[in-house]
Amino acid sequence: MTNPICPETGAPMYRGVRPITLTYKGQSLTFNMPGWYCDQSEESIHTGKDMKISDRKLNLLKARVEGVLEPEEIRRIRKKLHLSQEQAGLLIGGGPRAFQKYESGDVLPSRAVSTALVLLDHAPTSLSLLETHKKAA
């Protein structure tokens, strides 16, 4: 994308990052938001790639507020269990691509998936129960 023109001032906009604060249920998270910014006004333009960053930060904030696992914890527990993302999705829930989405922050895990991971983190040998149940189904 070439430098866009500010719709408010007509000045050229420049690529950069600016702090932005998201608030959810009374809690806030501030992060650097990439985008096209105008130095003469508060106008900004954000691409789809920029908005993905914002969406992931909002999901992180929601996970913290709602008490479900954050992406890094999900990845840590899955690796501790020696499962691929696909295996984890099929055994624990969500389907073959679910853990890719949980770990990238694109989707929040359900409370059930989050709780199952917490239990498996504390009792990893319980994974064999899930595997046995899956084979019997």
Query: Between 3.50.50.60, 3.90.226.10, 3.40.50.2000, 3.10.20.860, what CATH number should domain 13-66 receive?
Result: 3.10.20.860
CA 21 – CA 38 distance, rounded (Å): 19
β-sheet bridge partners, residue 29: 22
Strands (E), 1-137: 13-24, 27-38, 44-45
Split at pLDDT 50, 70, 90, the class of 2 is confident
pLDDT, tens digit, for every residue of 100-114? 999 999 999 999 999
pLDDT of residue 114: 97
Tell me the percentage of the chain whose pLDDT exceeds 90: 91
pTM of the model: 0.88
Residue 1 has pLDDT above 90, yes or no: no
Task: Read off the tokens for 40.
Answer: 């003469």
Split at pLDDT 50, 70, 90, the class of 51 is very high
The contacts found for 87-91 with CB under 8 angstroms, 24 or more apart, are 90/134, 91/127, 91/130, 91/131, 91/134
